[in-house]
Structure formats: structure tokens, C-alpha cells
Amino acid sequence: MAHCGACHTPRNALGAERTAATFAGGEAENWVAYALNAQSPAPVPWTADALFDYLRNGWQKDHGVARGPMAEVVNNLSSVDADDVRAIAIYMAGVFGPPSPSRIQNAEVARTEAAQPRSGNAQASSSTSAPNATTPDDKDGAAIYAAACASCHETARALPYAGVDLHLSTGISAPDPRNVANTILYGLPARDGERSPIMPAFAASMTDTQIGSLLAYLRARFSQQPAWSNVDQTIAVARQAQAAFLQTAAEPPNITIHVPPRGQP
Ligand code: HEC
Ligand code: HEC
């Protein structure tokens, strides 16, 4: 558990964990390690069962795939007994605490939106654009989403091979757009010799302005939160971090996903 706090607890100016803010959210390698307490930005509140699945398998159907430094953590946990992982999940569910009435209501909205039938058809989905997409930026974002994202994120294909419906994405509801910017820039690389979820990296095909429009649109359409500030700076920093990462990494980021046999939850 102390290990989890190394990333998920904020640090003071001297780099020490702020014990008064245990699990209130921290960062690692330019990824946000989300709050794992009552401040969690996850649209659907975490339960012990969901935490167990996520920590054991590297993904969970209401939350998506563990990426960045969290993928590494899941890799390391794969050598730990299921009972011990279960104990961590139960402990962490207690740290999250019971969701507040407003969170339960927000989760209801997110689940209902996510359960809308998906056309899987990029053109069709561009007409269901953000209800509050009023700026030209958002309109560009809607077009990019329809062309580059909807075919995977609005499909009947099962997780983890399809992307999660973005109403359920913690990244899109989080106070900081960093992890979504990282995901768009890095994608999810294919794993050698294994069937694995894949998302293309868009670093080479999108300008910072396009990613900015896309982020504004995603936030307006898929979250119940106010617009992000500092988006341009976040994208610029994420791109620099990604370039540095690609220069030093011999291997693309390793993401371990375990898919239970068909028919099991
Ligand atoms: C090396 C840093 C690091 C450590 C150690 C770490 N995490 Fe994470 N964790 C992250 C990052 C970064 C993310 C965001 C990943 C993403 O966006 O996919 C994350 C995401 C999560 C999430 C998903 C939250 C959400 O709402 O989507 C959970 C749950 C979680 N971690 C639990 C744990 C637990 C339990 C431990 C200890 C066993 C742990 N983490 C240890 C960095 C870390
Ligand atoms: C080839 C299919 C594919 C395409 C195209 C694609 N994605 Fe993904 N995406 C995935 C898969 C698979 C995942 C991993 C499962 C998950 O976590 O949703 C993912 C994950 C994500 C996540 C993380 C969700 C979370 O919180 O766990 C975000 C955000 C995201 N994609 C955004 C986008 C955006 C924006 C675009 C368009 C620029 C896009 N994706 C295009 C397949 C795709």
C-alpha cells in the first residue's frame, strides 16, 4: 500500500509524501496518478471487485486499460498471489469510501450515455456532436473525433480490444488533461505475438492545435466537468516528454492485458 502512495499521494516542496493528503493524487513520468480517495475523478465509482479486475488484468470494463507507469505496476502485481491482490483491492475500496449522492448521480448519467446504441459509423456519430460545442474549436474537434476515434470508441466490439466509451474515461473527467494528451500522442502499441488492444499513436499525424481542438470537444461531449485550462501548455509538455521517452526507450511502453476466457465476467 505504501508503494501505491509513492505515486498516488502528492508530495511537498521537499519531495516527501504529504501524509495529510494520502491518496489525494500525485504524478509519475508526466502521467497523472489519479486521486484514489473521495476526490477520485472516475465517472463510475470504483468498487473492490472492479479494483481487483483492474489490478489483476490491467483493464476493467467500466474504466478501461491501465496505461503509462500504472501498466508497469500491473505487470509487477502479476507475480503476486490473487489473495493478496484481493486484499489490496478491498483496502483501496475503503480508501475511496462510499460514493457521495452526486457521484452516484453522475455515474448514472455516464452509464446511460455510454449505453446508447453505437453505430460504429464515424459519419453518423459526427451528427451527434457535443450539445455544448459552440466554439469553432469544438467543431474541428468533433470532425477529428468522428474521423479518427469513433470507429474504435463507439463500436460493439468488446473491451479491451475496443476503446472504452469515453463517457466512462477517468482521463476525460479528470481535472488535468495530461493523461488523455499522452494517450493520443503515444497510443497503445501492439504487443509482439499476442492479441492485444491497440490504439494508434497520433503524435505524427496531428498538430498541437488539432489535439487542442479535440481535447476541448472530448471534454464538452463526454464529461460533466467544466472546460480544461492550460490545454496548450499540457500538450506541448506531453509532446516533449514523449519525444524524450522515445529517444531513451528501447521498447515501446509495455502494457500487460489478461483477458479472461469467454463466458466469465
Ligand atoms: C509508478 C507510479 C504508480 C504506482 C506505484 C501506482 N500507480 Fe496507480 N496509477 C498510476 C498512473 C500514472 C495512473 C493513471 C493510468 C492511466 O491513465 O491509465 C494510475 C491509475 C490507477 C488507477 C485507476 C484510477 C482511475 O480512476 O482510472 C487505480 C485504481 C490505481 N492506479 C491503483 C493503484 C494501486 C492500488 C497501486 C498500488 C498497488 C498503484 N495504483 C500504484 C501510477 C501509479
Ligand atoms: C484502433 C482503435 C482505436 C482508435 C482509432 C482510437 N482508440 Fe483510443 N483506445 C483504443 C483502445 C483499445 C484503448 C484501450 C481501452 C481503453 O482504456 O479504452 C483506448 C484508450 C483510449 C483512452 C483511454 C480511456 C481510459 O480512460 O482508459 C482515450 C482517452 C482514448 N483512447 C482516446 C482516443 C482518441 C481521442 C482517439 C482519436 C484521436 C482514439 N482514442 C482512437 C482504441 C482506439
Q: Dihedral of CA 238/244/246/248: which sign?
A: negative
> Which residue shows C-alpha cell 491482490?
85
What per-residue confidence (pLDDT) applies to 226? 95
* Residue 169 CA, ligand 1 centroid: distance in Å: 14
Cβ distance 58 to 65 under 8 Å? yes
- Give me the residues of the chain with pLDDT under 50, please: 120-133, 263-265
How far is 222 from 65, CA to CA, in rounded Å? 18
pLDDT score at 248: 66
Q: Which of 40, 73, 179 to mutate to test the pocket of ligand 1 (most atoms within 8 A of CB)?
A: 73
Q: Ligand 1 centroid to 249 CA: how many Å? A: 21
Closest approach atom of ligand 1 to CA 66: 18
